[in-house]
Amino acid sequence: MAITKRICRPITNNNMSKGSIFIRLILLFLWCLLAIFLPWWIIIATVVICAFAFSWYLEGIVVALWIDALFAPSNSGLEGLIMTLVTAIIILTIEQLKPRLAFYH
């Protein structure tokens, strides 16, 4: 029951400053642009770093969806969304681990 309460809580953060939102938008634009040139594992590594740096870094899922749209075969169906699914699982796992990590507090 406690897990569902944490997952279903609203994803709003009233403490986000305009500078933080600006940085997140710049990073989203950069990752979408660099996704064309960089290998997938570098993008995933930077999304993991940003997921620890920002609260609910859902922009990583947008970048993964962009990569899937660019590089997945057109007739692959659900298999073409593998990067998006993996990134969503990573971000949700990190958000669940943050309160339990000693160095994050």
Higher pLDDT, 89 or 3: 89
Per DSSP, helices labelled H in 1-105 are 2-7, 18-34, 40-53, 59-71, 82-97
Beta-carbon count within 10 A of 10 CB = 6
pLDDT in tens, 14-67: 556 667 888 888 888 988 898 889 998 898 898 899 888 888 888 889 989 988
User: What's this model's pTM, rounded to 2 decimal places?
Assistant: 0.71
pLDDT for the residue numbered 27 = 84
Q: Given this model, what pLDDT does residue 9 score?
A: 47
State the Cα–Cα distance between residues 40 and 100, nearest whole angstrom.
28
Q: What is the pLDDT, as a whole number, of residue 105? A: 60
* Three-state SS at 74: coil
- Position 16 scores a pLDDT of 62
